[in-house]
Amino acid sequence: MKLQRRTATPLHNQLGAALASDIRKGRFPPGQQIPSEREICETYGVSRTTVRQTISDLVAAGLLMRVPARGTFVAGQRIDQDLTRVVRFSEAVSAAGYTPSSRLVGIYQLVAPAAISQALGLPVGERVVVIEMLSLADGAPLAFYRIHLPLETGEPTGRALLAAEAEGRVTFGLVLEHVRRVTGLEPAQVAQTYEAIAATPPIARALDIPEDAPVIASTRTVLTASGAPITYDEAYYRGDRYRFAIRRAYSL
């Protein structure tokens, strides 16, 4: 496709339409790395600035995805997650044909805000342990988690996760597994919310997306059968890669 210089349509929009057409026609199949910036510049006779803006636009649109230290690839299908049951990240990602992995981002303490204290049944002003993790598919970050735990369970759980990270076997599920071993508390219920937000700078950096890109934000309180809180979690899912589904009975 030849780009038109004498038109009101900006070059980056024309280039984006050309690349999107190639993706939809299968010239660049899902999972394939796109040509380098230099190659695109030479093919279409545009500057690197135009190419970079175009790629950012296509990443935001969900057609491309950036993989840190590897490059930019054609995005595959969205991750579908069923809301009628609790599904592990690894299960949802594997079902979509990707290789799941997890990475520990950080562990720290803070004085819990009122909402978190209330969710965990703690006195106002109590300190909690916060565990930050990333879940990835084929090396690309898809979800960023902040897990809040009371000190008595959070400190030993944090140490266990650091050991697991050193051995290359850290997963989101290890948090509840370790809490269960320490306390004997069995997860039985989940109270969860979802809302669409624009990515804040910390979330954008963690997920390698532009600031203000669409994100699905979720809060989750894991409870025992009697309603005792175990963890309070915040999760941020890439809006261009995730889709949640639920099937309900219909009544007039």
Q: Confidence class of residue 86 from pLDDT cuts 50, 70 and 90? A: low
At 201 the pLDDT is: 94
Query: For the chain, what is the mean pLDDT?
Result: 86
pTM (2 d.p.) = 0.71
Share of the chain above pLDDT 70, in %: 90
Percent helix, strand and coil across the chain, each to the nearest 5: 35, 30, 35
Q: State which of 19, 50, 74 marks the end of a domain.
A: 74
Instruction: Give the other-Cβ count within 10 Å of 91's Cβ.
Output: 12
Residue range of the domain that includes 35: 11-74
**Residue 6 within any structural domain of the chain:** no
According to DSSP, the β-strands at 71-74 and 79-82 are unpaired
Provide the CATH number for the domain around residue 174: 3.40.1410.10
**Residue 209 within any structural domain of the chain:** yes
Q: Both 143 and 90 in a single domain?
A: yes
Q: State which of 45, 74, 103 marks the end of a domain.
A: 74
Torsion angle (degrees, nearest 10) of CA 15, 21, 23, 24: 160
At 85 the pLDDT is: 66
Q: Both 85 and 62 in a single domain?
A: no
**Residue 185 within any structural domain of the chain:** yes
Helix 11-24 and helix 48-60, axial crossing angle in degrees, nearest 10? 50
Q: Both 67 and 84 in a single domain?
A: no
Task: Dump the DSSP string for 25-46.
Answer: TTSS-TTPBPPPHHHHHHHHT-
Q: Both 53 and 95 in a single domain?
A: no
Q: Tell me which residue of 129, 135, 207, 144 sits closest to 171, measured CA to CA.
A: 135
**Residue 3 within any structural domain of the chain:** no
Q: Both 200 and 223 in a single domain?
A: yes
Q: What is the mean pLDDT of residues 195-215?
A: 89
Which range is least confidently modeled, 2-11, 112-121, 242-251?
A: 242-251
pLDDT at 1 over 70: no
165 burial type by CB count under 10 A (0-12 exposed, 13-18 middle, 19+ buried): middle
pLDDT at 77 over 70: no
Q: Both 110 and 147 in a single domain?
A: yes
Q: Both 44 and 146 in a single domain?
A: no
Q: Both 110 and 163 in a single domain?
A: yes
At 82 the pLDDT is: 67
**Residue 4 within any structural domain of the chain:** no
**Residue 5 within any structural domain of the chain:** no
> Distance between CA atoms of 70 and 144, rounded to whole angstroms?
20
Q: Both 219 and 144 in a single domain?
A: yes
**Residue 1 within any structural domain of the chain:** no
Which residue reads 């950036």 in tokens?
66
Q: Both 46 and 162 in a single domain?
A: no
pLDDT at 79 over 80: no
CB contact at 8 A, 231 and 175:
yes
Q: Both 60 and 84 in a single domain?
A: no
Q: State which of 34, 53, 74 marks the end of a domain.
A: 74
> Three-state DSSP class for 138?
coil
Q: Confidence class of residue 110 from pLDDT cuts 50, 70 and 90? A: very high
Q: Both 165 and 63 in a single domain?
A: no
pLDDT digits (tens, 9 = 90+) for 13-64: 888 888 888 887 778 887 788 899 999 998 888 899 999 999 988 887 778 8
Q: How many distinct structural domains can be found in the chain?
A: 2
pLDDT digits (tens, 9 = 90+) for 162-180: 999 888 888 888 888 888 8
Provide the CATH number for the domain around residue 25: 1.10.10.10
